[in-house]
Structure 1
C-alpha cells in the first residue's frame, strides 16, 4: 500500500493525457469499440472469418477516427455584443471573431456558442497562420427583463462517423442585460417627492446653511460665526461686553431608499412584479440622474452608494435586470436591511403588489425612523390610479407603469 501511494504522484500525471483522450470518445464510439472487440474475439475462437473481418474493420475505423482529434489548436475567440444593455422587445447581434494564433494552418472545425437555452453552430473554414480572422454573427432577442448569458464558445472536432468528438472551450460567458422598462419622471423636487432636495431638521448646529437665530457666545464656539453688529449693540446696552454667535438648523443630505417587495405572495400575477420593478427602477434612476444618494433594494438584489464614487444609472438598471422574487425578500425584511446598509436614509419609496393590506403597510412604514417620509406604491392592474394620503400613510395605487408620472405630480396638492 505504501509503494502504491509513493508511485501514484508519478503515474497519475502520465495517465491524465490518456484520460483526456478517452473522454473524447462518444457513446457511439464506445459501442463500436465493444462490438468490434466481441466480434473479433468470437471470430477468432469460432473460426468465423466474417466476424473476424467485421471486428477488425470496426477497430480500424475506431483508430482512424482518433486521428481527427490529434493535435493542439491555438485559437483566439472573442464574443462582442454590439449592445450590452437592451430594453424588452429589442434585439442586438453578437459578433464571433475567430483568429488562428498557431504557427501553422488550422483545419476546418465547428464552433458552438450558447445563448441561454439556445446554441448557435458555425462552420469555421481553414484559417492560415496569422491570417485574417473569421467573423460571424448571430441575433439575440430580448424578450423580457433579465440577463442573457452569451457563451462560452467552444470548438468541436471529430471524425465523420461521430465516434470521436473533442470539445475545447475558448471563451467565458458574456452577459447582455435586459433592463426593466422605465418612464421619464419629473425632477424629484416636484410633486409628491418634492422634499427630496435636502431639508432642515429641528436639530441645532454650530455651522450649516440654514440660519436659525442668535445666541450668546460660550467658550469653544467658532469665532467666525460671531455676529459683530449684534454683539456691538448688546455690548453698548450694558457694562459687560457680550458676543453673539449665529445658530443654525442642521440640514440633512438627502438619501433616498427605494424598496421593491420581492415576496411572490404580494403579487396576484407574476407580471405584477415586473411592473413593480419598473416602478422602482424609474424612481431610483431619476434620483441618480438628479445626483441624489440612492440605495435600492429590488427583490433579492440591492445596490447602494459607495462613498466618494458617483452612482451610475446603468449599474442601477443592471442590478434591476438580475432581480428576482424570493420568500425571504418581503417588504418588512427589506426595510430592516435597507436601514442597516443606509442608516442616513431621509426618504423612502416602497413598492409592492395588490395583496398586502393597509394595516401591513402601516406596520412596515412604522419601522422607519422618525423624520423619514415614506411613500408606498401599490401595483394593482384591476384598480384605478389614485392617491391616498393620511397622517400615517401615503399610498399610490397604479394599474400600469404609465400612471406613475401623473400620480407623483399629484402630490403637489397632497
Structure 2
C-alpha cells in the first residue's frame, strides 16, 4: 500500500493574531510577556521611554556621569573628614550670608574657615613612599596566649619623608603608631600586642599611613599591605591515645549485611562453587558429610559525628558555649590523631575536620545561630546528613534537660552509640545513663579526660 505524500500547506494567521507572537513561540515566557507589554504601551509612554527609559540617551548619560564622579571626583573629596565637611559648609554659608547681608563678622568667619581648609591641604599634598612589612609571630594561637605583631617600615623615597601616623586595624580595634621624620634608607620598627581573650578570627591590617592637618579637617590614608588573619583557637585538653569511648570497637561496627569474608562470625552455610576455600569449616564438613563455609556479618569503619548546638536558648550563659566548643575541639583532635572518620555538625553547617588545624580554624569562627535552631533540630540534621555514624556526641548547655535528650535519641540513627555533653558552669563532672544514652554533665574542659574514662566503663 502506497502512502500519499504529505502536502506542504501555508496558513495565514487570523486577522486578530499578532504575527510577532506566532514567530516568538520558541521564546521564553518572560520575553513574550515583555514584548506584549511593550506593544500595549501608548505612544506617549513610548516617547517617555526613549527619553528616560533604561535604554535611553538620558539614562546612558546619567550612568556615565555617575561613573565619572566615582572615578574622578570621589578620590578628590575622600580626604575631607566629617568635621571638614561641617567647616566647609559653614564657611560657604558664612561667606554668602555675610556678603548678602553686609555682616563683616560673617565674612571674617568665612575667610578664616577658607584659610583653615587651604592650609590643611599643605599637610596632605605630596606622596610618601614606604615599603612596609606586616608580620605576625604566630597566625594561630590559643585563647589567652600572647600574640605579637610587628611592622617594619622602610623609607623608599630619595627625599626626606614628613612625619605620619601608621594605623593597623586589629579586628574592630585600631593600633596607632607615630612615624617620625625619615631620611632615605631609614628603617623604623614597631611591635604591638594583639588581644586574645576570646575565641575568634581576627583580621590584622591592612597597614595604612595617615597624614592630616592638626585641626582634623583633612585626612589622607594610603594602604600598604594586605590583611592577615589570626586564628584564636579554643582551649583544648589532651586525651588518652585511642581514647576509650570514642568508638565502639577499633574494627568498626557490625551490620546485618552478610558477607563471605570479614571479622564478625555469623553462621555456617553450604559450600557454593566460587567460595573461598580458606573459609571452609573442616570439622563441620566432616561431621555433616558436605562442605560447610563460614559466613560473616559485614563490618564498616566507625564514623564519629560531633554535634554542637549554637542556639543561645540551649545555654545559660556564653561561657557554657565556649566550654562546649572546647570539649568538642578536644574530642575532634583526638579522633583525628587516631585517624578516625570524623564529621562535625553545628546547628547551621558542617565544619571541615580532615585535619586538626582545619577543625580548630573552623571552630574559631563559630558564632551564635538564630534562636529557632534548637537541640532537637541539631539531632535531626545529624540523622539526615550523617546517617551512617556509629558514635554521636552532642554538645549543649545547661538548658538541655533529660527529656530533650530522650527526644533527641529517637531522632538519631538506631545503630549509633549516643553520648550527650551538657555544660553546666561550675558543676562537678557526672555521668548517668538516660536509656541507652550516656548523659555527661561537665563544668570545665579540664574534667573531660575523667568523664571519658567513665564513658569507657559503660
Residues 75, 365 of structure 1: alpha-carbon distance in 2 compared, 3 angstrom cutoff: farther
- 1:152 and 1:92 map into 2 onto residues whose CA distance is 17
Conserved 8 A contact 2:314-2:375: no
Deviation of residue 25 (structure 1)? 1.6
- Structure 2: gaps spanning 5 or more residues: 1-50
- 1:187 and 1:323 map into 2 onto residues whose CA distance is 27
- 2:375 and 2:92 map into 1 onto residues whose CA distance is 66
Choose which of 125, 149, 157 in structure 1 pairs with 2:211. Answer: 157
- 2:76 and 2:411 map into 1 onto residues whose CA distance is 62
Deviation of residue 4 (structure 1)? 4.4
Deviation of residue 246 (structure 1)? 4.7
Question: RMSD over aligned Cα, in angstroms?
Answer: 3.5
Deviation of residue 211 (structure 1)? 5.3
Deviation of residue 347 (structure 1)? 0.5
Larger Rg: 2
Residues 275, 14 of structure 1: alpha-carbon distance in 2 compared, 3 angstrom cutoff: closer
- 2:135 and 2:163 map into 1 onto residues whose CA distance is 22
Choose which of 417, 421, 437 in structure 2 pairs with 1:373. Answer: 417
Partner of 1:308: none
Matched residue count: 401
Alignment deviations for residues 31-60 of structure 1 (CA, whole Å, 9 cap, x no partner):
443444455456656777776566445434
- Structure 1: gaps spanning 5 or more residues: 306-310
Alignment of 1:110-149 (within 5 A): 110-126=165-181, 131=185, 134-149=188-203
Alignment of 1:87-98 (within 5 A): 87-98=142-153
Conserved 8 A contact 2:146-2:193: yes
Choose which of 253, 260, 263 in structure 1 pairs with 2:311. Answer: 263
Alignment deviations for residues 214-267 of structure 1 (CA, whole Å, 9 cap, x no partner):
533435x4x5x22387579959986xxx76555333121111011123232222
- 2:330 is the counterpart of 1:276: no
Partner of 2:250: 197
Partner of 1:84: 139
Residues 316, 35 of structure 1: alpha-carbon distance in 2 compared, 3 angstrom cutoff: closer
Q: TM-score, normalised by structure 2?
A: 0.75
Residues 3, 82 of structure 1: alpha-carbon distance in 2 compared, 3 angstrom cutoff: same
Q: TM-score, normalised by structure 1?
A: 0.82
Conserved 8 A contact 1:147-1:175: yes
- 2:240 and 2:361 map into 1 onto residues whose CA distance is 22
Higher relative contact order (CA 8 A, sep 6+): 1
Choose which of 398, 404, 420 in structure 2 pairs with 1:354. Answer: 398
The farther-off stretch of 253-262 and 58-67 is 58-67
